[in-house]
Amino acid sequence: MRDEIKVTESDVEERGMGENLDRLNENLARVEELSKRLVAALAQRQPGDAGLEGPGQDLYLKAGMAYWNEVMTNPAKLIEHQVEYWGKTLTHFVEMQQNIAQGQFTAPEDDPDLAGDKRFSNPLWKTHPYFNFVKHQYLLGAKAIEEAVAGLEGLDPKDRARVEFFANQMIDLFSPTNYLATNPDALERAVETDGESLVQGLENMVRDLESRQGELLPTLADPNAFKVGENLATAEGSVVFRNRLIEVIQYAPTTETVHRTPLVIFPPWINKFYILDLKPQNSLIRWIVDQGYTLFVVSWKNPDESFAGIGFEDYIEDGYLEAIRVAREITEEKQVNVIGYCIAGTTLTAALSLLKKRGEKPIKSATFFTTLTDFSEQGEFTVFLQDDFVDAIERQVEAEGILDSHYMSKTFSFLRAKDLVYGPAIRSYMMGEAPPAFDLLYWNGDSTNLPGKMTVQYLRGLCQGNALCEGGFEILGETLSVKDVDIPVYAVACQTDHIAAWKDSYRGFRKMGSRNKTFVLSESGHIAGIVNPPTKKKYGHYTNPDLPDTPEAWLEGAEYQEGSWWPRWEEWLSNRSGKQVAARVPGGAGYSVLAPAPGTYVLEKTNG
């Protein structure tokens, strides 16, 4: 087989291929070997539930009916769209042919929609007749699809949002940058390296397929560049408590005195807590400790199949209430302040409601980072929160006991497909580049499984049922509601957050029963808006002491503030954290040090 694809010296002379014959043949030999591995890797892929791969047949039926209804009731409109598309396509083709025949080429003005689109940054997209033609044909097709979808009548808002999402997925998929023959960057790189880039790209693809049992999703960060506990999550501290769900880490003080009231952070159990302690210069954990607080952080156990029956009640009882108890006993304080991030903030709301029902007051104040409690509007997640998809997840967790981290990673990635799927795939598979040494992307890939019961409770009860805001969330023998939260609360939402949209966060926060509510809107997204140290002076924030009926009204009356929200929040927190006392070392009051930070649970990996 290898002799059949070997390039000879006569081939080189006839084709003018240069002096790199040996290197080229080496690359061809590597391609043969990699092709065998590719076939073997693809064979590992197990067929999954079709409901997790795309929308159910009912959505296709609804979209098809809406389309044909438009055909029957307004055929002139459809014909007009088609003729317009055909006319523009043919006109552009004729113009290109004429330019080439005349031996000249003047590129037309770039489409304004391409401003800032990194996919088409190579000058050849504008100056080369072939690539310019391909680009504009793609743009014409994309616009035609968008207009066709926009013209569909009779779809309810959720179905329309889903049709638009999947139409945009198709548009992104068929971008010419995703294919070697129509990607000038990849072709130039292949020529420069005598095909080495393509071979390395195939190597990267095979590696990803092998590591994910035949499922293709590009690796976003160099897996060997970081090690948790060595160059990530290095803040000094100790694990002082461990049970089946959590490790509680108490961080070592860096000041001689600390505020009397301790602080407990509950990070989300989708991914891991060290997003708050990536590097020293952007570590919120280090910054809080440096401000003089006794800080406890929960590190969640990465679930396996044995966690199938673990639900929200377990996360509240064995997670939240246990961590709060530990912090109070170690510090010998009656109350603590708490923070909940994302889904951990949603669950913190339920825990606060439960404590209210029980007549217990161990919490002095609560802060919520990018937290949703009102799911009446589902934003970009509308696509994944309808019955066809949730039914498929329910079948998956019933069969396996957990929702494998792969599904969550894939969902979040395709919400930003250009940046998290196709862009990395092009760089890795066509350009042959190694994944970058990027701490945030490394953390993003260090994902976690979700327990089966908790997953269904979250999707059915909270996301679909909106139970915390409408009717109540029934667990632990109580009916829990946001209205029960009556302690001082502070919320930080992020302006471009595509996971917890800030307007949705505002609506739920406003419904809390507390008379003391502060809402802050940070610039940037779900992570960068929170991990925003003052020293970087990168993102500002908005403040408004009033909480009008709508988020739009809040923003209209808000004042923009330069720099990070951290100092502003810390001033609020310090007023609720008591007098200064001698700094506390980890442990004590009957609690021994079990392991150094970042602990053991955070090191556990998923199969994917």
DSSP assignment letter at 599: -
Phi, psi (5° rounding) for residue 205?
-65, -45
How far apart are the C-alpha atoms of 387 and 389, rounded to whole Å? 5
Reduced to 3 states, what is the DSSP secondary structure of residue 110? Answer: coil
Are 269 and 246 a contacting pair, CB within 8 Å? no
Name the β-bridge partners of 199. Answer: none
d(CA 371, CA 315): 17
Six-digit token pair at 362?
């161990």
**DSSP string covering 441-479, please?**
HHHHHS---EEHHHHHIIIIIIIIT-TTTTT-EEETTEE
- The 8-class DSSP code of residue 578 comes to -
Rg (CA), the chain: 28
Helices (H), 156-302: 157-173, 184-192, 196-211, 284-290
Query: 3-class SS at 493?
Result: strand
Spatial neighbors of 227 by CB under 8 A, at least 6 apart, are none
Residue 370 to residue 529: CA distance in whole angstroms: 9
What is the maximum span of the chain, computed from C-alpha positions, in angstroms?
89
| Cα dihedral: 457, 462, 466, 468 (round 10) | 100
Partners of 295 in the β-ladder: 263
- Say if residue 545 is preceded by a cis peptide, omega within 30 of 0: no
| Cα–Cα distance for residue pair 308/151, rounded to 1 Å | 44
CA dist 526 → 12, 155, 221, 531 (Å): 54, 30, 19, 9
342 is known as an active-site residue: yes
Q: How far apart are alpha carbons 412 and 32 in whole angstroms? A: 34
Q: At 36, list the tokens.
A: 């065998």
Tokens 């161990």 belong to residue? 362
Distance (Å, whole) CA 380 – CA 7: 51
What is the C-alpha separation between 568 and 286, in angstroms, rounded?
A: 17
Which listed residue (342, 463, 469, 494) is catalytic?
342
* Residues known to be catalytic: 342
